[in-house]
Structure 1
Amino acid sequence: MNLLHEAVADAVTRAARTLVLSGDCPTARAVVAGLQRRHDDLAVLWLDAHGDFNTPAISTSGYLGGMALAMLTGRTPDLFDDTLGLRPVPETGVVLADARDLDPAEHDALAGSHVRRVPLDPVAITSALDRLGSVPVYLHLDIDVIDSAELSGARFPSGPGPSLVQVEESLAAASATADIAGACIACAWLPEHVNDLSSRQTITRVAAALGAGLAWHEPAGG
Structure 2
Amino acid sequence: MQKIHVWSDYVCPFCLIADELIERAISGRSDVEVVHHAHELRPYPMPTLRPEEPYLPDIWARAVYPMARRHQVPMTLPSISPQPYTAAAFRGSLYAADQGVAHAYHRRVMTAFFQEDRDIGNRETLADLAADVGLDTAGYLSALDDDTYALRHRVALEESVHQGIQVVPTIVIGSRRIEGVATEDMIVRALDDHTTRSVA
In the superposition, the TM-score normalised over structure 2's length comes to 0.29
Which structure has the highest strand share of the two? 1
Larger relative contact order (Cα-Cα within 8 Å, sequence gap ≥ 6): 2
Q: Comparing both structures, which one devotes a greater share of its residues to helix?
A: 2
TM-score normalised by structure 1 residue count: 0.27
